[in-house]
Amino acid sequence: MSAEDIRMLSSEELYVYRGEGGVLQGIVDGKTYHELLIFLTFPMRYTSEYVSIRTKDGNELGIVRSLAGLDRDSAAVLKEEIELRYFLPRVTKIESIKQRSDLWFWELQTHLGSIRIIMRNLHDHIQFPGGDRILLSDLDGRRCDIVNWRQLDAHSQRLLRDIL
């Protein structure tokens, strides 16, 4: 696939909405689709940009450069769909990080409540996708997101500095 094959969708070409049962539906270039799928083309870096719009069979109809460029209703529906598809609790505070034998235990507060994650080693379970963002994963594959570690409270920042 070349750059010429990638179709960028404008707000004039795309309108999305929820159908019966919450199914994502839409109109692309005047054609109605009763079921659409979305995928972030760069999920680690961009959570509201470069959104691939596809048919239920996986055929790409085009890419939305940014949700900000869409009408308010379509942007809200796509944002909700992204949050459902890419469920990722956001860390608001790090309560503690402790090492016991060969395991690391993290006690975290997220926008959804408390969570405990366990890591065997830090290098395999901590990713730095860019900027001040940190992605954490545990032994069971659960993940959470520190959107900007510099915006956490002083205690949380100190705990991170101590281990990183």
Read off the pLDDT of residues 8-17 as tens digits, 9 standing for 90 and up: 999 999 999 9
- pLDDT band with cut points at 50, 70 and 90 for residue 5: confident
Q: Which of 85, 100, 126 finishes a domain?
A: 85
Rounded to whole angstroms, the Cα distance separating 3 from 58 reads 19
Say if residue 39 is in the same domain as residue 107. Answer: no
Say if residue 95 is in the same domain as residue 80. Answer: no
For range 95-101, the mean pLDDT: 95
Where in the sequence is the domain holding 109, given as residue range(s)?
A: 91-163
| 40-57 per-position pLDDT tens digit | 999 878 889 999 999 999
Q: Which of 63, 85, 107 finishes a domain?
A: 85
State residue 1's pLDDT score.
52
* Number of Cβ atoms within 10 Å of the Cβ of 91: 23
State residue 88's pLDDT score.
87
pTM of the model: 0.68
4 or 139, which is more confident: 139
Sheet with 14-18: strands ordered across: 14-18, 24-28, 31-33
